[in-house]
Chains A and B, each alone.
Chain A
Amino acid sequence: MSRTKLAVLGIIVIFVGLTVAQTLYTVRETEQAIVLQFGKPIRVVKEPGLAYKLPFVQNVITYDDRILDLDPAEVQILLTDKKRINVDAYARYRIIDPLKFFQAARTEAVLRDRFGKIINSAIRQEIAKNSLGDLLSENRLSIMQAIQSKVSSEAPTFGIEITDVRIGRTDLPPDTSQAVYNRMRTEREREARELRAEGAEEAQKIRARADREQIVILAEAQRTSDILRGQGEGQRNRILGKAFSRDPEFFDFYKSLAEYEENLVDSNTTMVLTPDSDFFRYFGSATGSRE
């Protein structure tokens, strides 16, 4: 084998290799491809696997066959109730017609830019018809559906299919959210005040009831004890009256003596007496009589 032979063999191998590489290509499970001939699309390949094309005159562009994300910039929308809201929506789409996609957008970046604007304008149109309350209610679903149908009608021009359009963040701009915060705060302050006032009210009631109960209990006790005292005094009068009424005259005498004894004995009394009192009946005469 001469050197020339070897060189020729080498060139042939390289040429064959190059041709094979130019002819065969793979389309992955996640991809789809279009075949271009001198830059003009002639064929779409959606089946994954090994495929072939004419070498050198045709080339292949692959696009993603999965669900892709499209996340347009946040838009500020004036709602019917004059409230401003920032809406950040996102869409999910799939390239279903790579040929159209190639003609209309060529790359995902271009699509993102152009279709993002379409999505945002649909969002703007649909959401601006509503008030904030609507947006936060069950209507949200129908709003999203309206946006999706609007967006979907534009999709075929780009060779794409819109899987889903969803409203993500819907935030109030800073000044509006400040107003909301202020309202929340005042509401809570009112609630707190109310709770404290209720507490004071309840406390007052409990105290008042207790005070009343105290007074009633004491008054009742006063009444009972007055009755008891009255009973005692009455009984005493009855007992003594019954005993003393046997001889009122003797009672006078007996009681007087008892009182003298009690009040005059041991009391340093100075008495100025005349001897003609009954006590001194025999003071001057043995017969007990005086002249």
Chain B
Amino acid sequence: MPWQSDNGGGPWGGGGQSPWGRGGGRQPPNIEELLRKGQDRIRQFIPGGGASTKGVVLIVLAIIAVWLATGFYTVNPREQGVELIFGRLFEVTGPGLKYNLPGPIGEVLTPQVEAINRVDVGYRGTADTGARGGVARDVPEESTILTGDQNIVDVDFQVQWKISDAVAFLFNIRDPEATVKRAAESAMREVVGQATFDDTVTVGRQQIEERTEELLQAILDSYGSGISIENVRLQKSDAPAEVIDAFNDVQRARQDKDRLQNEAQAYANSIVPEARGEAEQMIQQASAYRERLIKEADGEAQRFTLVYDAYLVAPEVTKRRMFLETLGQVFGSADKIIIDGPLGGGQGVVPYLALPEINKRSKEGSN
């Protein structure tokens, strides 16, 4: 360290706060201060004359020392340091405090090799995470793609990439971001152009992501770009706005179909059990009817049998008794008109039946 041996606490007493001590890569020393102090020294030495040569040498050495000190730089953990000397690649360094010759001879580039970069195609997302949820604006000229069955699909996707080879990334391609985007667009179009519309919007989405990723990686490798594709993610894969209504209507129709079937099934589920219930009721009623008839007949038959058995003990008398008792009951409750002599005979009464009178009487009688 030249300034320590030559300077030894000389004019740059403030040299203790060394330039790299501030950290954060190459920091230019406080040039104004240096110049001012240098001028002071020159003014001191020039009039003096004798000590002037020694003074000039000291100053020059000091300037060289400070200049050399500006060669310190730090590489952050997620970065790599690429050292160039006269524009030529010298060394690639890892994180930490490093040294390279200072400018204009040396130069250090510190690309972020761990960082994931995102490219949005078909839409412009919000600046942050870029994932779903942000306010995305569709870019139709990027997102409408012809499918293999000559339909048009609206595809938005995001490519995530990172630097896999810092040297190749820095020195092999110009404008890597634009290259990734252009290649991604081309790859997606090629893949979708070979898929059917239905696959693209439904079951084939993952396959499309995978194939695009593969193709895109192959394209970028062929450029020697030093870029590795982390993933390709379809954010949206839909029918274009012009026809989305018709597509939604298909979904609705599918639901209508289910609904109609369900309604019919509900109808079937209600009337069949009802019919079964009704059938059971009919059978039970018929069954009851049968039982009733049999029981009644049984009873009637037994009653008859009992009466008949009793009648057989004294047939004549019993028959007459039953006859008289029955008629007695019948007559007992009826209005009776008894006319002696042969009815309608020559000398008897004229059998005039005053029906209204009888009715009146019967009414009175019932009152």
Contact = CB atoms under 8 A, between A and B. Distances in A.
A161 to B, nearest CB: 12
Contacts of B141: 169, 171
Interface string B321-340: 01110110111111111111
B338 A270 contact: no
Interface stretch (B10-18, B24-32, B182-190): B182-190
Contacts of B308: 246-247, 250, 254
Interface residues of B, number: 117
Contacts of A31: 87
Interface stretch (A114-122, A149-157, A233-241): A233-241
B250 A195 contact: yes
Contact of B261 (A64, A141, A170, A199): A199
A232 B261 contact: no
Contacts of A18: none
A137 interface: yes
A140 B85 CA distance: 45
A138 interface: yes
A10 to B, nearest CB: 14
A107 to B, nearest CB: 15
Given A195-B254, A271-B337, A232 B224 contact: no
Contact of B257 (A163, A195, A233, A243): A195
B289 A228 contact: yes
B323 A200 contact: no
Contact of B88 (A29, A71, A211): A29
A113 interface: no
A268 B319 CA distance: 26
Given A184-B243, A195-B257, A168 B174 contact: no
Contact of A136 (B194, B257, B343): B194
A31 B324 CA distance: 147
B246 A188 contact: yes
A50 B88 CA distance: 8
Interface string B300-328: 11101101100100000001001110110
Interface of A: 26-31, 47-50, 64-69, 71, 90, 92, 132-133, 135-138, 140-141, 163-164, 166-172, 177-178, 180-181, 183-185, 188-189, 191-193, 195-196, 198-200, 202-207, 209-211, 213-215, 217-218, 220-222, 224-229, 231-233, 235-237, 239-240, 242-244, 246-247, 250-251, 253-254, 257, 260-261, 264-275, 278-280
Interface of B: 84-89, 141-142, 144, 146-148, 150-152, 170-175, 178-179, 182-183, 185-186, 189-190, 193-194, 197, 219, 222-225, 239-240, 242-243, 245-247, 249-250, 252-254, 256-261, 263-265, 267-268, 271-272, 274-276, 278-280, 282-283, 285-287, 289-294, 296-298, 300-302, 304-305, 307-308, 311, 319, 322-324, 326-327, 329-343, 351, 353, 358, 362, 365-366
